[in-house]
Amino acid sequence: MAFLPRTISVLPLAAVAALAFASAPACDGSLATVLSSDGGPEASVPDSGDPDGSTPGTDGGTSTCAAHGGLCVGKSPPPAGYRVATAAEGKCETGATCYVPDTAPPTPACTTDQDCNGDSSVSSLMGTCFHGVCICQSPYHVGTNGKCANIKLPDCQSQSGTCRQTPATCLGTEIETTIDPAACGDLVEAVCCTATAACKGAFDGATPVDFACCGKAGGTRPPVCLNGWKTCADGAFAILPGAGCK
């Protein structure tokens, strides 16, 4: 009986190399090729591990966005308070757009302490004006118009905030959004955070002014963002950096 020889299929060397390259992991262990929704390959970008599609820029290669304080964002919308960067302000890898904080000075909420009274029928001062932002006295809080009012503290979701836990700390690009401990629920320790660039801060002309807050118990603490305004809360008052609490 005659035996037929077996046929062995051999892939071309170029195809084998292409297959190995497509499945090879990047240096950080993640695939370098990002697949589009239809299953086809999209632009190859570093995998940041961030599920919202944002990738930090680098000083090398073709990405200089992070070096200018920006964010590289793919298909996801950019955070509030960011704008598209100019070519001089940084760029990202192919397939992502560079966004930088919009630092244009906001319209000040006040120029005098009396401007901070959200209720004109109240003759006593409800807060003080600090470089265009109102620092409200207890029990008043800053409203969406930047004035002081007797209002309930908003929850995290209504301020477009993000509840962070384990650890309950905001990211470096975020600011605590509320002083209400129940803003993210009562069961697990958490903190409500929002993008710092989305919070209207203090300005001296066109120059941003950093400040800290002094509480009744003494010591300084960072300001919070309440209803879109950077302020001191819970009866604290604002000081310039290094001034010290009295």
Residue 98 β-bridge partners: 72
Report whether 150 contacts 133 (CB < 8 A). Answer: no
End-to-end CA distance of the chain: 106
Q: What residue type is assigned to position 147 of the chain? A: K
Q: Is residue 217 over pLDDT 90?
A: no
Q: How many CB atoms lie within 10 A of CB 73?
A: 22
Residues 142 and 180 in one domain: yes
Q: How far apart (Å, rounded) are the C-alpha atoms in residues 125 and 10?
A: 85
For the stretch 101-138, pLDDT in tens is 776 677 899 999 999 999 988 889 999 999 999 999 98
Report whether 78 contacts 63 (CB < 8 A). Answer: no
Which long-range contacts does 28-34 make (Cβ < 8 Å, 24+ apart)? 34/95
Q: Report the domain count for the chain.
A: 2
Q: How far apart (Å, rounded) are the C-alpha atoms in residues 198 and 148?
A: 20
Task: Provide the domain limits for residue 196.
Answer: 113-239
Last residue of a domain, one of 60, 82, 102: 102
Last residue of a domain, one of 102, 137, 152: 102
What pTM did the predictor assign? 0.60
